[in-house]
Amino acid sequence: MGIKRQNGRHRHSMVLPVPTALHIDFVSDVACPWCAVGLASLQQALKNSADAVQATLHFQPFELNPDMPPGGEDVDEHLRRKYGSTPEQRAQIQATIRERGAAVGFAFKPDGRGRIVNTFNAHRLLHWAALVGADKQLALKRALLEAYHGRAERVDHDDVLLAAVRQVGLDIERARQILGSDEFADAVRAAERRWQMAGIQSVPAVVINERHLISGGQPPEVFEQALRQIAAAQ
């Protein structure tokens, strides 16, 4: 506590700590339900730790199913083939994800996504949104997660992607131009390779200041503790 003299009187003033600026790369896929949980959880943790942390979020591309053909694949068939899971196991995992989502304010569609689809065009639009501004990229990411996991909409369809663009106030004609071309395809693939070479093999992966990795859709208190520890060590 410091003391300032003003107008012949003593005034006490408390020096408030300045929050530590952190750069957060959120490596994820729109198709990943745990990424929806993880983002909502991380945002809650950032809100709870605002006294110590001031972070900028940057969304980095990761495709869980880069070879998914047009039309996609039934989600149950896909999970059975990819992981060998039983219907009972899938139902239990779905229930857990819905419960974890509800705890951080993300509402999953009760009967699931319906189909697993290709998300490359969504990543191209997210790359473009980042060039407009970090806040727009965050808004678009949330809109796409809500469209896919909250309403089971086909995020491989241009009309769904453009609706998300319109929802967050981005230029819909520019987005339509991107979707009608290969613009940003090389940049997205380069970013995907970069994070894979850095050792990211599963998502969500939260990378802080390009040095600290927090894996998975952790609860807010886990993220908050890590954020505070990293900020204090800066």
What is the per-residue pLDDT across 72-86, written as a single tens digit (0 to 9) for each? 999 889 888 888 889
pLDDT bracket for residue 71 (50, 70, 90): confident
- Encoded tokens for 88: 């009972």
Instruction: Please tell me whether the overall predicted TM-score, pTM, comes out greater than 0.95 for this model.
Output: no
12 pLDDT higher than 90: no
> For the segment 212-229, what is each residue's pLDDT rounded down to a tens digit?
999 999 999 999 999 999
Does the domain at 16-233 match CATH 3.90.550.10? Answer given as: no
Domain range annotation of the chain: 16-233
Mean pLDDT, residues 36-59 taken together = 97
Question: How far apart, in whole angstroms, are the C-alpha atoms of residue 130 and residue 127?
Answer: 5
pLDDT bracket for residue 1 (50, 70, 90): very low
2 pLDDT higher than 50: no
pLDDT bracket for residue 44 (50, 70, 90): very high
What does pLDDT average to over the chain? 92
**DSSP string across the chain:** -EEEEETTEEEEE--PPPPEEEEEEEEE-TT-HHHHHHHHHHHHHHHHTTTTEEEEEEEEE--S-TTPPTT-EEHHHHHHHHH---HHHHHHHHHHHHHHHHHTT----TT--SEE---HHHHHHHHHHHHH-HHHHHHHHHHHHIIIIIH---TTSHHHHHHHHHHTT--HHHHHHHHTS-TTHHHHHHHHHHHHHTT--SS-EEEETTTEEEESS--HHHHHHHHHHHHHH-
- What local confidence, expressed as pLDDT, does residue 163 receive? 98
pLDDT bracket for residue 4 (50, 70, 90): very low
